[in-house]
Amino acid sequence: MSKHIDDDKILTVRRFLLTLQDNICQALEAQEHAGGIDGASSARFISDVWERPDGGGGRSNVLSDGVVIEKAGVMFSHIHIRNLPPSASERHPQLAGATAQAMGVSLVVHPKNPHVPTSHANVRLFVATPADGGEPIWWFGGGFDLTPFYPVMNDVVHWHTVAHKLCQPFGDDVYPTFKAWCDDYFYLKHRGECRGVGGLFYDDLNTATQGWDFERCFAFMQAVGQGYIDGIIPIFENNKHRPYTADERAFQLYRRGRYVEYNLVYDRGTLFGLQSNGRTESILVSMPPLASWAYRYEPVAGTPEFELTDFYLKPRDWLGLIDKS
């Protein structure tokens, strides 16, 4: 594990995260104000600044009831933890009982139009001090992933092309490694399907695991944060004006149920937040405003709804499909 981190480095990361939150909110608001098939609105992110009793706090930005974006939460937090919860220390048993601070930006965007995918991104930094008073240990984590309901191949390829390009300066093995990690992490075992078409996921990123110093790990965090914006905005532009039917809207709500299942059953971020006595409203803001479940629903073969699970919700070499898209 990597050791030593000073307060100036932590402050630099914090400033970046707050700026990233602002930039993402501005980009998403621009999509809402420009409008889509359902028109335009003046809906904006409402900023909720909060403090945590154990130390630290955050800024929760939420946009609700838009005509392009039904609900979006872009959350910044920088919290102090007296005792690392099991969701964090199970992979690092030497840190059981450690004090820590964690900071990051996490977001989920649920568009109204079924042809615009749900998207998620997260970038974070942990700094833990072992209970025996040893040197602080730091690591980065994060990534982004895409959950379409009516996928468009060009959009999926674009999403992964952005991911590949941002990884290239850091090594040829970074994209395939973190892409595979994303496919494995965002997998609903009880459904036997991926949550979406993937993207990037990484954790425990530091000198010991990747051979990168703090500055290089931080640079990768910055690239991932900007990569989310570069990836999602063209997908909004390509799809938010597409007409949709009541049946397609119903299918979107049905598939959102899978999103709820994943977040409540498997997501480590949700578990960490709840186990660390986090702010419940901020933790569960990722939930969609509407979702539905159906008993033994089976899409008809040959339909777009069938193609979603039959083709798209399986790990694939999306960049290898560029010539076929």
Both tokens of residue 315?
A: 């790990």
Most confident of 81-95, 174-188, 270-284: 174-188
263 appears as a binding residue in the annotation: no
pLDDT for 245 equals 98
Say if strands 56-64 and 46-51 run parallel, antiparallel, or are unpaired.
antiparallel
Residue 75 half-sphere exposure, CB side, CA atoms within 13 Å? 29
H or E segment at 118? Answer: strand 118-129
The verdict on whether residue 190 carries a ligand-binding annotation is yes
Measured CA to CA, the distance from residue 188 to residue 194 in angstroms comes to 6
Lowest mean per-residue pLDDT among 121-135, 222-236, 301-315: 121-135
pTM for this predicted structure: 0.93
Active site residues: 120
164 is in an annotated binding site: no
Provide the pLDDT for residue 1.
Answer: 41
- Averaged pLDDT of the chain: 92
Tell whether 124 is in a known binding site. Answer: yes
In sequence order, what DSSP letters do the residues of 149-205 get, joined into one string? Answer: SS--HHHHHHHHHHHHHHHGGG-TTHHHHHHHHHHHHSEETTTTEESSSEEEEEEEE
List the domain boundaries for the chain: 7-320
Look at residues 91, 76, 325, 40 and name the one whose alpha carbon lies nearest to residue 204. 91
> Between 3.30.565.10, 3.40.1500.10, 3.40.50.620, 3.40.50.300, what CATH number should domain 7-320 receive?
3.40.1500.10
pLDDT one-digit tens code per residue, 55-74: 899 999 999 999 999 999 99
